[in-house]
Amino acid sequence: MSTLGQKVIYQLYPKSFYDSNHDGIGDLRGIIDKIDYLKKLHVDLIWFNPFYKSPLNDNGYDISNYKEIDPRFGTMADFEELVDKLGEAGIGVMLDMVLNHCSTEHEWFQKALAGDPYYQKFFYLRDPKPDGSLPTNWQSKFGGPAWAKFGDTGKYYLHLYDPTQADLDWHNPDVRHHLQDVVRFWEKKGVKGLRFDVLNVIGKDEHFVDSTNIEEEKALYTDTPIVHQFIKELNQATFGRDPEIVTVAEMSSTSIENSIEYTRPNDHEVDMVFSFHHLKVDYDHGEKWSQVPFDFMKLKRLFFDWQNKMDQGGGWQALFWNNHDQPWALTRFGDPVNYRVESGTMLATAIHLMRGTPYIYMGEEIGMIDPAYHSMADYVDVEAHNAYERLIQEGHSEQEAFAIVHSKARDNSRTPMHWDDSEYAGFSTVNPWLIPTDQRQINVENELAHGSIFNYYQRLIELRRTEQLISEGHFSPLLEDDDQVLAYERYLADQAERLLVLNNFYGTTTTVTLPDHWQGRAVHKLIANYEEEVTLFGDQVTLRPYESLVVKG
């Protein structure tokens, strides 16, 4: 069995992977049809975004029944077949556990609404303030207030996300027991991995108070001490009993200190965390819905800080550029027009050789980029539409507002997987729920026949399995002041051999002076995105546009 550090995880967005029954929506049978493709990458696990019963207001993150498959995605029998067939291919299934909130269509919420006091204690129901205003001034993460009217009871319920996603009150032990039961239900079906949605916001203070700014507000419900306690309990009651299960928790606006605590093996919480600070380096003063070039030095400092401190503290990170909530990294941090292959493989190198467990989001391995949409009608996501409205209200022109949404919308990465160059990208035979735009050039068929990105990912995955420096090594930053190159080293306790990773983040050539201990050293090239052997270093190394060079020596 591979160790945590040797594993690579693929993320698959079922709604957009492959549509087997021609309704424009990807489904479980579609995934089964494509297992041969999935096998090629040789990943250890696949994390699936939710396909449970749901009104799909937030694409399945609004679950109305935790133990059923939504008919649009298939049946329980399809799911079981998927687990079996992936298992035969040596791939484990990682499921998404959305336990912070459930859909307002869930029977718990419906019973609560109907007046059942037992279920009313499942949610955060509060009276308005004496002046009739909302219980607190908190904002929903998708825009608008975080409180909505609880039927005609005069009370309000808390929703940190969409109004149809009601936050569950984890302070109630019965809620925790029900949720633990959900986790065990899927474990019994042979699931080998669990991804916990927004897990660090489950410990809201029961005494709701107003906030004076957004940072203070987040602190009121994020990473509170009781979250650790809840996770430990969940661990003991469920996955902690099975050493084979891999766990990752999505942590919204978390800190390094907390992330160490969440993941130190002896604390028995989770194996690793997703944190997002490195994906906010193109936010203008912290505002996502803005358009500014990414701040490379900030990105570098964040990587170094997290890698260093997580290493020193014995924590473990999930490594990723892309997921279903982010625009494509290749469009954001690379050059999709002039250097799609070079910048795509450079970004992959930069992240895959760090300390942690890499995640590949479907389509990344063929170099997919943001779709060329032309109007708001092309977007589906509630968040994108709310943001557009707000930008207009704030005085942006329609053109500006659209340009901002275009660059940041979550739908960017939710467009269907490009299988071939046909009208619907080989994803479906009918118009898909989101339309593909660049499939003529970027598609699986093309990539496997003539491309080099997929093959590069295969090699990165293989290297992690075979090179202990990558799977177990410590991390140390290099060339900290260089404003174009991300460089670091990996080394093991014996210090015998080291790994040097150099990544040029821009489309211009640059020369760096190597640290003393690499100058004049005999090296062995492990992987690079330009041809050419390197066997002996001088004092300097010249890197071409978006060049990555990885050597051992």
Residue ranges binding ligand GLC (CB under 6 A): 58, 61, 98, 161, 197-198, 250, 324-325
Dihedrals φ, ψ of 21, to 5°? -120, 20
**Known catalytic residue at 420:** no
For residue 199, what are its two tokens? 């897990």
Nearer to ligand GLC, 197 or 223 (CB): 197
Q: Which does 325 bind (CB under 5 to 8 A by kind): ligand GLC, Ca ion, none?
A: ligand GLC
Which one from 58, 167, 223, 250 is the annotated catalytic residue?
250
Give whichever of 34 and 490 is closer to Ca ion, judged by the CB atom.
Answer: 34
The option from ligand GLC, Ca ion, none interacting with 438 (CB < 5 to 8 A, set by class) reads none
- Binds 338: which of ligand GLC, Ca ion, none (CB < 5-8 Å by kind): none
The C-alpha atoms of residue 463 and residue 351 are separated, in whole angstroms, by: 13
Q: Select 29 or 324, whichever has its Cβ closest to ligand GLC.
A: 324
CB of 25 to Ca ion, least distance (A): 4
**Helices (DSSP H) in 314-381: which residue ranges?**
329-333, 340-352
536-542: long-range contacts at Cβ-Cβ below 8 A with a sequence spacing of 24 or more? 539/513, 539/514, 540/511, 540/512, 540/513, 540/514, 541/502, 541/511, 541/512, 541/514, 542/509, 542/510, 542/511
> Considering CB distances under 5 to 8 angstroms, the limit depending on partner class, which of Ca ion, ligand GLC, none binds residue 540?
none
Q: Which residues bind Ca ion (CB under 5 A)?
A: 19, 21, 23, 25, 27
Backbone angles phi, psi at 225, to 5 degrees: -55, -35
> Could you tell me the smallest distance in angstroms from the CB atom of residue 198 to ligand GLC?
5
Of all residues in this chain, which one has the CB nearest to ligand GLC in the complex?
A: 61
- β-sheet bridge partners, residue 196: 97, 249
Q: What are phi and psi of 52, to 5 degrees?
A: -75, 170
Residue 269 interacts with which of ligand GLC, Ca ion, none, CB < 5 to 8 Å by class: none
CB closer to Ca ion out of 27 and 62: 27
| Minimum separation from the CB atom of position 195 to ligand GLC (A) | 9
CA dihedral 223→229→235→238, nearest 10 degrees, is -110
∠ CA 224-228-229, nearest 5°, is: 110
Q: Which of 23, 472 has the CB closer to Ca ion?
A: 23
Choosing from 197, 271, 365, 383, which is the catalytic residue?
A: 197
How many other CB atoms sit within 10 Å of the CB of residue 94? 25
250 is catalytic: yes
* Spatial contact of 311 and 520, defined as CB atoms under 8 Å apart: no
- Using the minimum distance from each CB to Ca ion, give the nearer residue, 380 or 492: 380
Least distance to ligand GLC, CB of residue 527, Å: 30
Structure-token pair, residue 201: 């916001």
Rounded CA-CA distance 447/465 in Å is 24
Smallest gap, in angstroms, from Cβ of residue 70 to Ca ion?
11
Identify what 21 binds: Ca ion, ligand GLC, none; CB under 5 to 8 Å per kind: Ca ion
Report the nearest approach of ligand GLC to the CB of residue 506 (Å): 30
| Residues classed as catalytic | 197, 250
